[in-house]
Amino acid sequence: MTRQIKTNCPRDCYDGCGIVVEVRDHGRHRVLGDPDHPVSRGKLCSKCAVAYNGVWQDPGARLQFPLKRVGAKGGTAFVRISWAEALDTVAARMQDAMASHGPQSILHTHYSGTLSLLGFLFPNRLFNFLGASEVDPDSICNAAGHVAWSLLYGSSIQGFDPRTARDTHCILVWGANPSHSAPHAHEHWLNETLGKVIVVDPLRTETAAAADLHLQPRPGTDAALAFGLLHCLRLMGHFDDAYIAAHTVGYDEIAADIDRATPAWTEAQTGVPAADLHTAAAIYGAGPSLLWCGQGLQRQATGGNVMRAIGLLPALTGNIGKPGAGFCYLNITPVFAGIDLAWLGGAALAPREITKVSHMELAARLERPDEFKVFFSWNTNPLASAPEQARLRAALQRPDLFMVVSDLFMTDSARFADIVLPAASFLEYDDLTFSYFHLIMGAQAKVGEPLGESLPNAEIFRRLATALGLREPALHEPDRALLDAMMAQMNTGYDFDELKRRGHFTLGDSAAPWYADQVFETPSGRIEIASAQAEVMGLPRTPQPWADVPPPDGQFRFLTPASKWRMNDSYANDPHIVERSGPAALHVNPRGRARRRAGGGFQRHRPPAVDRAYRRQRPARDRAVVQGPLADAGRHADERELRAQRPQRRHGRQHQRPLHAGQRGPRDLRFARVDCRS
Ligand code: SF4
């Protein structure tokens, strides 16, 4: 006997697909795309289609019972223990740490192992209530972009409504690879638009290959390319002078930089042919046009500046607040739906300002003997995702550091844990899901009991609160009460059971007309091309036409594009995924490989200080700490220095054009796959 249950995918993904599960009383359920869902249209992405029917339901792969480490940290020796022993042990160590070093000596790290709202946010209530320290979850993933567009537009979480694509003349996709990270947007949304598609990406991704025009800049030259496009747009008469005068501040301060970014200069800086630059400007400038910037774009040195520079395109051409126009980084759909995310995460429970630790400094902070005594990792796998892996592994060997990991699987991080807590999967509890691109909210429906003794995230932390002797009602609120409250906040007119029956709902009947009033949440209420806030943060007052200097001989700049078969490290433990994706490999231009031999191997290249400053900052609305001035914040801004970089750039460009193995690049360069271990 099988029956079908609608649910939704809670992965950290733009698409937010609808799912249908064929529930079987015995054996594995069958997980499929929901044919009634406007994004998935009956089909899951390649990775979920395999893993949700694979390791997600595999008792041999999943963690089923609490475990206690009995061997060396990082090893495989664990024994099964009861939940009571696990939680009592964790609670006792947390209490010891609080008594001896204060609650801030408990550091928790979390991210987007699941984005379903209860699983993603409710556990924060406990840590906030205690006053524990937190690894800032966005610090690597997308913080620089948030800060940059908050400075420019006042918000980075409200972009265009994707439904407005039906009215657009052009979709400019900059630094995103939907073919791998938003596969349904690639297959349907981009494919079906009547407008032209332009892709800017150093890699010729599948989305880039399918576009009407692909601009392929050298990595790290996006800001220079943006200024080059602005130069052409202005020459072609596509600047909207009335819009600039009415809704922006600071244009005069970048006018000279736009003057200098001639097509010849831009081609020299970026490698993008001047003719392509003209074509792109003509298409985008005809408008109305959409700009979609990916998260990967800002994960680079000066990534915040890159986002500010590219964000000038809609501002100066007036492509904001009208059908078919706009910009998008991330749409935080639950906020637009009315859900109070701060309430769900218990922000108000914190007794003091929470100590935040950036991923960038995690290893260094953890290796200090006295700052953190308990390290609690849930919903994330820092030993696959945080920087300075060797240093972090060494820090986690500290004998006095008590580590707890909650996860579905025995991850790299879990192997360092003293106690491992098994988490239930999205198929095993009710929750709410969302897309951060499409304006769709979904019901995550429980289709079966948790595997073994695993528990939903929220239940794990309710039980831990009990073990800690905490009676605060907010720490014990049951899932159904939380779901009912969120349904009431969304004011849908029906309850969670009805949402489960429907599967999902889309906000509004048609595309949301965002920014039609041209009001921006900046200090001036306008788009701030020149930003006093940025200056206070130690950042340049205006976006700069910077281009990274190529690495010297013997050093390489690597790109780590999204995989079609994995989501960061997720799915990497599924044998069918491993088989399909093959071993990890890097692709190097053969000429570059020769240079490597001559240069004597790879060396580490630190990002400049200005990028670290963007990542340390919080968006303006919740920023509490102001950074001091940076000594080198404006060093690339000088035109003479930009000119001085040209010979170096030409010298280095041949190894700056990574493509897929065997693929032919625009200038006859073939790339060879090499063994990562060599
Ligand atoms: S494309 Fe994204 S939302 Fe859809 S099934 Fe795959 S991971 Fe889930």
| pLDDT of 595 | 56
* 235: number of Cβ within 10 Å: 15
Cα dihedral sign for 416, 375, 85, 461? Answer: negative
Residue 604's contacts (CB-CB under 8 Å, 6 or more residues apart) are: none
Average pLDDT over residues 63-78: 98
Average pLDDT over residues 601-612: 42
| pLDDT of 633 | 25
CA 216 – CA 200 distance, rounded (Å): 6
CA-wise closest residue to 436 among 33, 7, 10: 10
Q: Verify whether ligand 1 is closer than 6 Å to residue 183 (CB atom).
A: yes
Q: How far is the CA of 562 from the centre of ligand 1 (A)?
A: 13
Could you state, in order of their start, the residue ranges of all structural domains in the chain? 2-57, 67-141+339-506, 143-332+512-536
Quick check: 296 pLDDT over 50? yes
Q: How far is the CA of 247 from the centre of ligand 1 (A)?
A: 38
Helix (H) or strand (E) holding 647: helix 639-652
| DSSP annotation string for 614-627 | HHHPPPGGG---PP
Strands 133-135 and 106-110: parallel
Tokens 């200069």 identify what position? 265
C-alpha distances (whole Å) from 629 to each of 137, 618, 626 are: 25, 16, 9
| pLDDT of 551 | 82
Q: Residue type at 625?
A: V
Cα dihedral sign for 31, 32, 35, 39? Answer: positive
**Taking a C-beta distance cutoff of 8 angstroms, is the pair 413, 381 a contact?**
yes
CA 203 – CA 201 distance, rounded (Å): 5
Residue nearest to atom 8 of ligand 1 (CA): 9
The conformation of residue 567, written as its DSSP 8-state character, comes to B
**In angstroms, how far is CA 51 from the centroid of its own chain?**
21
**Taking a C-beta distance cutoff of 8 angstroms, is the pair 384, 569 a contact?**
yes
CA 395 – CA 367 distance, rounded (Å): 4
Determine the 3-state secondary structure of 466 from DSSP. helix
Tokens 């556990």 identify what position? 123
CA 438 – CA 436 distance, rounded (Å): 6
Q: How far is the CA of 14 from the centre of ligand 1 (A)?
A: 8
CA 294 – CA 641 distance, rounded (Å): 29
Q: Verify whether ligand 1 is closer than 6 Å to residue 145 (CB atom).
A: no
Quick check: 386 pLDDT over 60? yes
pTM over 0.75: yes
| pLDDT of 104 | 98
Average pLDDT over residues 256-268: 98
**Taking a C-beta distance cutoff of 8 angstroms, is the pair 409, 421 a contact?**
no
CA-wise closest residue to 161 among 139, 137, 142, 189: 189
Q: Verify whether ligand 1 is closer than 6 Å to residue 440 (CB atom).
A: no
Which CATH number describes the domain made up of 143-332+512-536?
3.40.228.10
Average pLDDT over residues 413-432: 98
Instruction: Please give the radius of gyration of the chain, using alpha carbons only, rounded to the nearest integer.
Output: 25
Q: In what order do the strands lie in the sheet with 356-357?
A: 78-80, 67-69, 419-422, 402-407, 374-378, 106-110, 133-135, 356-357
Quick check: 435 pLDDT over 90? yes
CA 328 – CA 421 distance, rounded (Å): 37
Determine the 3-state secondary structure of 63 from DSSP. coil
pLDDT tens per residue, range 466-475: 999 999 999 9
User: Which of 6, 7, 14, 15 to mutate to test ligand 1, by most ligand atoms within 8 A of the CB atom?
Assistant: 15
| pLDDT of 638 | 28
The conformation of residue 421, written as its DSSP 8-state character, comes to E
Cα dihedral sign for 606, 609, 614, 615? Answer: positive
Q: Verify whether ligand 1 is closer than 6 Å to residue 16 (CB atom).
A: yes
CA 274 – CA 264 distance, rounded (Å): 6
Give me the helices (H) in 23-142, please.
Answer: 46-51, 83-101, 117-121, 124-130
Average pLDDT over residues 583-604: 59
Q: Verify whether ligand 1 is closer than 6 Å to residue 418 (CB atom).
A: no
pLDDT tens per residue, range 553-581: 878 888 888 899 999 889 999 999 999 98
CATH of 2-57, one of 3.40.50, 2.20.25, 1.10.10, 1.20.140: 2.20.25
CA-wise closest residue to 287 among 470, 160, 382: 160
**In angstroms, how far is CA 95 from the centroid of its own chain?**
34
Residue nearest to atom 1 of ligand 1 (CA): 45
Q: Verify whether ligand 1 is closer than 6 Å to residue 45 (CB atom).
A: yes
CA 439 – CA 430 distance, rounded (Å): 20
For the purposes of burial, counting CB atoms within 10 Å of the CB of 607, is it exposed (0-12), middle (13-18) or buried (19 or more)?
middle
**Taking a C-beta distance cutoff of 8 angstroms, is the pair 444, 25 a contact?**
no
Residue scoring higher pLDDT (533 or 610): 533
User: Which of 12, 184, 187 to mutate to test ligand 1, by most ligand atoms within 8 A of the CB atom?
Assistant: 184
CA 46 – CA 563 distance, rounded (Å): 11
Quick check: 631 pLDDT over 50? no
pLDDT grade for 530, boundaries at 50, 70 and 90:
very high
Class in CATH terms, 67-141+339-506: alpha beta
Q: How far is the CA of 444 from the centre of ligand 1 (A)?
A: 13
Which three-class secondary structure string do you get for 225-285? HHHHHHHHHHHCCCCCHHHHHHHEECCHHHHHHHHHCCHHHHHHHHCCCHHHHHHHHHHHH
**Taking a C-beta distance cutoff of 8 angstroms, is the pair 6, 18 a contact?**
yes
Q: At what angle do helices 457-467 and 479-490 cross, to 10 degrees?
A: 120
Q: Verify whether ligand 1 is closer than 6 Å to residue 13 (CB atom).
A: yes
Average pLDDT over residues 189-218: 96
Average pLDDT score, the chain: 88
Q: Verify whether ligand 1 is closer than 6 Å to residue 48 (CB atom).
A: yes
- Please report how many Cα atoms fall inside a 13 Å half-sphere around the Cα of residue 81, on the Cβ side: 19
Average pLDDT over residues 262-279: 98
**Taking a C-beta distance cutoff of 8 angstroms, is the pair 589, 655 a contact?**
yes
Q: In residues, how long is the chain? A: 678
Q: Residue type at 129?
A: F
Quick check: 536 pLDDT over 70? yes
Q: Verify whether ligand 1 is closer than 6 Å to residue 15 (CB atom).
A: yes
The tokens for 550 are 């190529």
Q: How far is the CA of 282 from the centre of ligand 1 (A)?
A: 34
The tokens for 89 are 């042990």
Quick check: 630 pLDDT over 60? no
**Taking a C-beta distance cutoff of 8 angstroms, is the pair 5, 20 a contact?**
yes
